[in-house]
Amino acid sequence: MSVKHSIVGRSTGHEVQKKRTAFIQGLLDSVEDLDTRVTGLEDTMRISGVQEYKIHEAGTIAVVKALGGKGTPAYKKLSRKTFASIWSEFKHYFDVPRYGELPAKQYQEGMDFVSTWQPKQELRMDIKELNSDD
C-alpha cells in the first residue's frame, strides 16, 4: 500500500491571502476614486436656488440702505445704477458670469460681500447730493 506524504509546514492559505489583499486594494482604489470625484463636484457645484435667493435679498438690502431707503430721491434716480454696480463688482470679485454661478463653497464669502458692500466714492457722492436736496 502506497501512502502519499505531504510536506509538513507547507502553507496552503497564501493564495487566499493574496486574493484578500487584492480585494482590499481594489476597495481602497475605489474609495480614492470616489473621493476624487466628490472633491471635483464640491469644487464645481454652484449655489442652490435658496442660496441664490438669499444673496439676492442681501444685495437688495445693501443697495436700499446705501441709497437711504426706497422713498429717497437717490433711490428714484440711482437705484438701477446702484444695483448694476453691486452685481458688477460681485461678478468681478468672484470671477463669475452671474451671481447665481457662485461656487457653493464660496456661499458665505458671497453673503459677506453683499452684506458689507458699499458704493464706490463717486456713487456715494451722487447719492449724498441727491438726498440732501430735499
- With respect to residue 91, please indicate whether it lies within any of the assigned structural domains: yes
pLDDT at 12: 64
The list of the chain residues with pLDDT below 50 reads none
Tell me: do 77 and 109 sit in the same domain.
yes
Tell me the per-residue pLDDT of 45-58, one tens digit each, with 9 for 90 and over. 899 999 999 999 99
What pLDDT is attached to residue 116?
97
Domain range enclosing 39: 16-45
Mean pLDDT of the chain: 90
Transcribe 73-121 into DSSP letters: HHHHHHHHHHHHHHHHHHHHHHT-SSGGG-BGGGHHHHHHHHHH----H
Number of domains in the chain: 2
pLDDT in tens, 17-37: 888 888 888 888 888 988 888
